[in-house]
Structures are given as structure tokens and as C-alpha cells.
Amino acid sequence: MNPSPRTTGTALDDAAELFRQAKRVVVLTGAGISTPSGIPDFRSEGTGLWSRDEPLEVASLNTFRTHPERFFKWFRPLAGQIFNAQPNAAHLAVAELERAGLARSVVTQNIDGLHQKAGSKRVIELHGTLQTLSCTRCFEKFDSRGFIQSFIDEGTIPRCPECAAILKPDVILFGEQLPQTAWFEAQRESRSCDLMVVAGSSLEVLPVAGLPMQAVDRGAHLIVVNNSPTYITVRADVVIMDDVASILPEIVKRALHG
């Protein structure tokens, strides 16, 4: 896939040059980086998950506690899409940046683990992960792979092998706070970077949406690659409104190979 005609070579070259000049790069990713891998986002009109379901009714902590079967019924097809997904060119490009020493960390809003599958090592997951489950009674943590296939295939709600209580996916539901350690780490990274790259995020969900502003206010450069405008577009050095799976690999190619 190639960049569309509306994406100028100048913007790609400018982004690549910012990478070459930077010493502390942080990549902030959202749902848009995983949609090319077949995982739906939440807010796109007509196709996003919240265009079909009311989030507080299916994906809140209250729903999980009071009607867990309702949550799991909604979550089952999404879980299947996530576990069957493979990294796309954008994930691979981010991992290549890290291997080349150009990216220090990836801060992601995604729960799909595709950055890790692509080879990224330092991934800060602000909205949790589907790779593990925690018992709601004894709080033991388990690898999802021991439970997920029967859940996807048969709808079997995962239960703790120790106490038989329901296992909760380690994802952040509505009504839950962000994981404190990850949030503090993401803020430290944002405040100390000299270049932040926003890839595939509309920056509509607080408090994560405030991270680029924390970076820019402390003198960092900013690159935004997203299909739609964001609130911080006016503060960015480079803005490319196009498909992240084609644009990000092209920027990385130019940054690493000229």
C-alpha cells in the first residue's frame, strides 16, 4: 500500500528528519493503528463499536459486576478478532524504530498486544491487556491462552481454577481507573521526550489525550499521523491525515535509509 497522492513527499521527509534529529522518541498509538489488522475501533461513525452498543451498558465495571454474562456476550466477538489478529505494517514499523534505537517506548491505548507481537519490547499499556485474566475473588492472575479458545468457540465464561470465581480480562472498563504504574510511566515518558509521534489516535479520550500536550509544552516536537484531525493538530510540526499503515512505514524507511 502506498501513500495517497495528497500526502506530500515534503511532509514525509520533514517527519523523517525529525526522527533523525531526536534522541528520545515516544510513540503514542490508538485504535487506528490496529484497524488495518481487522480490529474495529470504538468511535468511527457507522463502523465503530459504540455506533452499535452503548458503552456504559456493555463495557462498564458495573455491568461486569452485576451482569457479567452480558459483558462476556458483547466481548466474545471482539476477543476473537483480537486473538486472531496479526500485526500490520504500522506495528512492524514502530518495532523497527525501537530496534534501530530511534524509539524509546510505545505508549498505547490498545489492548490487543499487537505491538508485542510485532517485536516492540517497551510497551506501556494504558488501557490494560487481553493477554491476562485476574480472579475477581482470590486475585490470582492467569495467562489468557488457557481460557480464551473455549470462550471464543463456545462462549464459556472463564473461571478461576483455584476458587471457581469469574475471571476478569485485565482490560480497563468504563468506571475503572487507569493502571497507576503505567499511567505514571507514560507521563514520565511524555514529559521527557524530544519527539512524540501520535499514530492512529483521535485523542478524544482523557486523560491519555493530554499526553501530547504534556510533551509539546516541554519543548518536544510532534508528528501526528491519523485519518481525522485531532485537537492538537495546530501544535504539531508535521500532520499527515492518511492511512497509518502506509504512512508510518514510509516515514521509518526515509528516517533509517534516506
Catalytic residue set: 127
Answer for the pair 247, 240: CB distance below 8 angstroms, yes or no.
yes
**Cβ(68)–Cβ(166) under 8 Å?**
yes
Q: What's the CA gap between 174 and 75, in Å, rounded? A: 14
What size, in residues, is the chain? 258
Question: If you ran DSSP here, which 8-state letter would residue 50 be given?
Answer: G
Terminal CA-to-CA distance of the chain, rounded, Å?
19
Which residues in 161-191 are b (16+ Cβ under 10 Å) and which e?
A: eeeeebbbbbbbbeeeebbeebbebbbebbe
Candidates 178, 183, 91; CA nearest to 127 is 178
